[in-house]
Amino acid sequence: MKKTIINICVFTAVLFLVTDVSAASSRKKYFSRPQIGLWYGPVTPILDTGEHVESDLGGGAFFRYNLPYDPLKLGIDSSYQYYDSKGVDRLRLIPVYFNLLYLLPIDLPIRMQLKAGAGMCQVYMEPDETKQWDPMFMAGTEISFPAGKMANIALRIDYLCIYEEYLDGATKNGHVINAGVSLYFNLNL
């Protein structure tokens, strides 16, 4: 096992060394622009929530804008997530949140970002037909592959906590993981 890990590390290091790192700095400039994009992928309820509804596919859109401190961006993100169950319960989530994205200072052709944020989530439950907005928090990470001046392709994974425990009678929060492939564009603004 240990040998395998060492082999993977060596292979990865060689891969980075032979990559055209000279192009990285120019790509970094493009990546620093405002960005807009879409994502699509599996949405998975976890912990208590995962005991009652099942995974499905979801998708969303986002917009990111630069902040004075270069590695940081401010993003707004929204998505549509619909969860089925073995019974008749259905859950629809439409989170709308701000997040701060921090670009890790690793000078590589790929971009790794950490993100954390908060916002509101519209929760709709069937068959009760309850629809309301709840506060929510999120944390996640993203690996982006710049594809030219304009486009980026990324793999993203986010954890969303829909916070309800402050309500009378509430004992549980909502927990979901969003993973997905995203395509987004650098805007020349």
Partner 1 sequence: MKYNNLIFLILIFFSCIGCGDTPVFTELSGNRLKVVIKGTFETEDVSHFTAMNGQDPNVSPVEDTNSVDDVTSGSHDVLPETFMLDIAEIRLDGKKFANYRTVIEASLAGGNTKASEPEPFFNGDGVILRNDDPGDGTYNTVQLYIRKMVFDNAMIYQSTGSTLTYEKPAEVIFHENDVNGFDFNQLQVNSYWDSLRLEASDTLRIFPLEVPIIGSLVYDKQNEETVLEIRLVIKNFVKKYEYDYYDEGVFKVSHYYALSDWLRDVRAGENDIGRNIHAVARTYVPGKTGIISDTSPGIGYVIAIPSGDSITDYTISATGSALRTANVCDLPQGPSYPGEYIEAILDYYLKYEKYKFDFNAKIASCPNFETGTPNYTDEWNSYEAEVDNFKIAPYAIYSDGTGNYIFNNVAQGSYDIYWASVPAYGELFIDGAFTSLGTVTNLLAGETKAPL
Judged by CB under 8 A, the stretch of 35-43, 47-55, 139-147, 178-186 that binds partner 1 is: 47-55
- Binding test (CB under 8 A) with partner 1, winner from 10, 133, 145, 183: 133
Which pair of tokens denotes residue 101? 């994205």
Number of amino acids touching partner 1 (CB under 8 A): 39
Q: Which is nearer to partner 1, 20 or 51 (CB)?
A: 51
Distance (Å, whole) CA 12 – CA 32: 25
> What is the rounded distance in angstroms from the CA atom of residue 58 to the CA atom of residue 171?
26
Provide the token pair at 175. Answer: 């927990």
1, 5, 88, 106: which one binds partner 1 (CB under 8 A): 88
Strand partners, 138: 117, 160
* 129 touching partner 1, by CB under 8 A: yes
Beta strands in the chain (DSSP E): 35-45, 56-66, 72-83, 90-103, 111-126, 130-147, 151-162, 174-186
Output 29 or 131, the one with its CB closest to partner 1: 131
Among 32, 55, 141, 173, binds partner 1 (CB under 8 A): 173
Q: Is 132 in the site for partner 1 (CB under 8 A)?
A: yes
**CA–CA gap between residue 73 and residue 109 (Å, rounded):** 19
Query: Which positions lie near partner 1, rule CB under 8 A?
Result: 34, 48-49, 51-53, 65, 74, 76, 85, 87-89, 91, 96, 98, 119-120, 123, 125, 127-135, 162, 164, 167-174
